[in-house]
């Protein structure tokens, strides 16, 4: 019998990367079963160790246990997000309970916990490094927060809850992908294309050709949906696609009952651990510390921003009426008319801008920026195997020639990829047995695919998205530490967005912009006048955009900062939560929650506020770059040392103070968004 399984073999590849060219779908389950068997033996060896518990034989040994489980599961679930199939989704339902059972085998293992507890008691008398102390602290906390102090009976109930949650969140994500793929807007009459720029028309034509259909097809993948809603002159079609997008998983592929069950089970698990609300459980371990701080933070920003947002919406409404629009301004009108207004006010349109932002040039720009700030270089390594032909791989070196990471990039939408953009890793940076393992980082987006006549051209919003996700990648690439659980992006949620959001600022710097914004046909650099308009329009609809983000955070807390599950219709519930601060009409039959993957299938439950929290940090941090010079290597070196490379080896508050020399000042965000507003404290 052939027992070869590439997932269980020590990688002989140059960088120890996944052997995608040899992995088949049938390899995952037997590999994970075998990996879990090995990991349990490693756990049992720790619990049966005859000598008294020490940091080395218990805490460090636990950190090293289960490497094979992490390897197999990370590869599988990354592919289930980026290149799934019916079989992979079915497998996810089979593998998730195995992983949950293994996790509970560790966290609810009383013998193991007692050993960790004993080391924790001795902490002050042990000669531990700062990194070792942090690992001990985090390990002990993980056990307590994972149910280690529960009675045997309650541990059994708690375990069942975690198993159910793992399956429900997977199903939520699968439903969102299915609902996104289920809808197509088929246009057969050329007049219905009115307003769409040529690249959108070509995109629609190719989407139809792929489906062996005549005419043009537009989908709910964001490059297609976002462009259509912004440019189409046909109000009825805009309404149709808007309602389809904003009712995903409300009725078809419904997530309504899943939401209630997820919220209920999260609340039950928090109650079992002694917390009144799920938000109490989550936020205890974040920079914000508690729900009151988060709610006050969100409400304060909302109160300060709503007047700007309402003024902006009124301005767009007035503009639309000046152009003959006589209806009530609805959500499916707002993008269309605001884009028209932006074009007229700033003399700037996406159609004018996109030719200057070919994906390959923007990619070169972020690589160049990493070189200017941190001395990194990126070299293609086509010999590294990939999971899809669209994926490219780069070797990342530092100035001394040291290998820092592999970077996988996967830019284009397909039906096997979930919507959105994200960074992940196939391997974190860590040191074991005297050998350093450098990270294998992945950047995944859904940008417009090249056509037969033009390259992938990005909207400016997509340019900033690429900078954002690349910021996360740098957090992984520049990781330095001994323990993988503490390195790279393994930091609290309200800190993890700082490296990503700060990088977006460089996309607005005129000198840097002109270095890479070159017309894809002529090669001419973007005119300075156009750059001036980009910078001038940076805060266009800043109030509207901030209110929208705050709504997501408020809605997240409305689901998770509760002591009982909201027993009401989801559309009505959202209306009660967001109605008073809505700046556009709320539409019956639509809702955010059923496709809100960040909080119901991702890691942002009771944590979506993190984007705004981190934006305060980045606005304050970037002011230092502006003061000293945006390419200043000393400031960049400090940011690398204290933020990017340090991971979770210390509290983020301490790390930020080390970089900035003080606590962050919240007014920096208001200065960034509303630089000329009255009442905004000037520097």
Q: Which residues are catalytic?
A: 469
How far is 487 from 277, CA to CA, in rounded Å?
29
SS3 per-residue string spanning 275-306: CCCHHHHHHCCCCCCCHHHHHHHHHHHHHHHH
- Classify residue 240 as left (phi > 0), alpha (psi -120 to 50) or beta: alpha
The position carrying tokens 């995903």 is 248
Instruction: Judge residue 255's burial from the number of C-beta atoms within 10 Å of its C-beta, 0-12 exposed, 13-18 middle, 19 or more buried.
Output: buried
Q: Which of 643, 650, 551 is nearest to 596 (CA)?
A: 551
Give the C-alpha distances (Å, rounded to integers) separating 221 from 421, 454, 583.
12, 20, 25
What is the token pair recorded at 33?
């079963």
CB atoms within 10 A of CB 11: 14
Q: How far is CA 340 from the centre of its chain?
A: 30
CB atoms within 10 A of CB 661: 9
Are the beta carbons of 243 and 585 closer than 8 angstroms?
A: no
Q: Which of 604, 585, 593, 542 is nearest to 569 (CA)?
A: 593
How far is 464 from 471, CA to CA, in rounded Å?
10
Start-to-end CA span in the chain (Å): 72
Give the C-alpha distances (Å, rounded to integers) separating 640 from 34, 261, 270, 634, 643.
39, 42, 36, 10, 6
Instruction: Judge residue 649's burial from the number of C-beta atoms within 10 Å of its C-beta, 0-12 exposed, 13-18 middle, 19 or more buried.
Output: buried
How long, in residues, is the chain?
Answer: 683
What is the token pair recorded at 392?
């490219």
What is the token pair recorded at 650?
């210390």
Report helix, strand or coil for 579. Answer: helix
Say which DSSP state 403 is in.
E
How far is 139 from 488, CA to CA, in rounded Å?
17
Q: Which of 174, 161, 332 is nearest to 253 (CA)?
A: 174
Q: Give the angle subtended at the CA of 359 by the CAs of 505 and 376, to the nearest 5°.
A: 60
Are the beta carbons of 119 and 55 closer than 8 angstroms?
A: yes
How far is 84 from 445, CA to CA, in rounded Å?
15
88 Cβ contact partners less than 8 Å away, ≥ 6 residues apart: 25, 76, 79, 80
- Classify residue 647 as left (phi > 0), alpha (psi -120 to 50) or beta: left
Give the C-alpha distances (Å, rounded to integers) separating 169 from 130, 263, 266.
36, 11, 11
Which residues on neighbouring strands pair with residue 358, listed in sequence order? Answer: 457
């Amino acid at each position: 019998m052939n027992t070869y399984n590439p997932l269980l073999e020590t990688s002989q590849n140059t960088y120890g990367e996944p052997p995608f060219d040899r992995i088949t779908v049938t390899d995952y389950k037997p590999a994970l079963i075998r990996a879990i068997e090995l990991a349990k033996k490693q756990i049992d060896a720790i619990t049966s160790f005859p000598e008294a518990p020490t940091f080395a034989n218990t805490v460090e040994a636990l950190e090293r246990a289960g490497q094979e489980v992490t390897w197999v599961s990370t590869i599988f679930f990354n592919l289930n997000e980026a290149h799934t199939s019916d079989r992979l989704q079915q497998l996810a339902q089979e593998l998730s309970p195995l992983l949950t059972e293994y996790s509970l085998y560790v966290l609810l293992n009383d013998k193991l916990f007692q050993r960790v507890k004993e080391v924790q008691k001795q902490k002050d008398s042990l000669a531990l490094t700062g990194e070792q102390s942090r690992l001990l602290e985090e390990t002990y906390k993980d056990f307590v927060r994972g149910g280690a102090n529960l009675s045997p009976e309650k541990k059994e109930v708690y375990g069942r809850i975690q198993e159910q949650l793992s399956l429900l969140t997977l199903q939520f994500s699968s439903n969102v992908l299915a609902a996104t793929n289920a809808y197509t807007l088929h246009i057969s009459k050329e007049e219905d294309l009115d307003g769409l720029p040529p690249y959108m028309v070509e995109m629609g034509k190719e989407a139809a050709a792929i489906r062996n259909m005549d005419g043009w097809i537009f989908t709910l993948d964001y490059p297609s949906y976002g462009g259509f809603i912004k440019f189409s002159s046909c109000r009825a079609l805009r309404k149709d696609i808007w309602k389809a997008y904003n009712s995903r998983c409300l009725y078809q592929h419904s997530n309504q009952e899943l939401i209630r069950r997820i919220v209920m089970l999260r609340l039950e698990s928090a109650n079992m651990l002694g917390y009144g609300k799920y938000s109490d459980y989550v936020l205890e371990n974040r920079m914000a510390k508690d729900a009151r701080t988060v709610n006050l933070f969100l409400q304060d920003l909302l109160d300060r921003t709503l007047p700007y947002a309402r003024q902006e919406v009124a301005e767009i409404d007035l503009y639309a009426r000046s152009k003959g629009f006589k209806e009530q301004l609805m959500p499916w009108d707002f993008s269309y008319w605001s884009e028209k207004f932006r074009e007229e006010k700033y003399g700037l349109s996406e159609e004018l801008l996109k030719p200057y932002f070919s994906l390959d040039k923007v990619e070169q720009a972020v690589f160049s920026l990493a070189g200017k700030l941190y001395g990194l270089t990126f070299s293609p390594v086509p010999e590294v195997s990939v999971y899809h032909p669209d994926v490219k791989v780069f070797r990342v070196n530092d100035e001394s020639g040291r290998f820092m990471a592999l970077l996988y990039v996967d830019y284009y939408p397909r039906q096997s990829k979930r919507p959105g953009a994200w960074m992940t890793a196939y391997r974190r940076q860590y040191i074991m047995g005297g050998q350093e393992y450098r990270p294998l980082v992945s950047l995944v987006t859904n940008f417009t695919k090249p056509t037969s006549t033009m390259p992938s051209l990005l909207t400016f919003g997509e340019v900033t998205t690429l900078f954002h996700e690349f910021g996360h990648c740098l957090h992984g690439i520049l990781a330095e530490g001994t323990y993988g659980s503490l390195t790279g992006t393994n930091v609290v949620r309200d800190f993890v967005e700082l490296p990503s959001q700060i990088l977006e600022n460089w996309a607005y710097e005129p000198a840097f912009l002109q270095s890479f914004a070159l017309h894809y046909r002529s090669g001419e650099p973007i005119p300075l006048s156009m750059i001036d308009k980009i910078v001038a329009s940076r805060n266009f609809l800043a109030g509207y955009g901030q209110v929208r983000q705050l709504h997501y955070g408020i809605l997240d807390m409305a689901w998770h900062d509760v002591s009982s599950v909201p027993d009401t219709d989801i559309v009505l519930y959202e209306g009660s939560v967001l109605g008073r601060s809505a700046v556009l009409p709320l539409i019956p039959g639509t809702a955010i929650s059923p496709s809100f993957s960040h909080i119901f299938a991702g890691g942002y439950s009771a944590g979506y506020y993190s984007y705004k929290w981190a934006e305060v940090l980045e606005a304050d941090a970037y002011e230092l770059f502006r003061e000293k010079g945006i390419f200043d290597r000393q400031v960049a070196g400090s940011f690398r040392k204290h933020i990017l490379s340090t991971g979770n080896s210390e509290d983020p508050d301490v790390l930020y103070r080390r970089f900035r020399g003080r606590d962050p000042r919240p007014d920096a965000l208001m200065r960034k968004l509303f630089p000329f507003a009255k009442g905004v404290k000037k520097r």
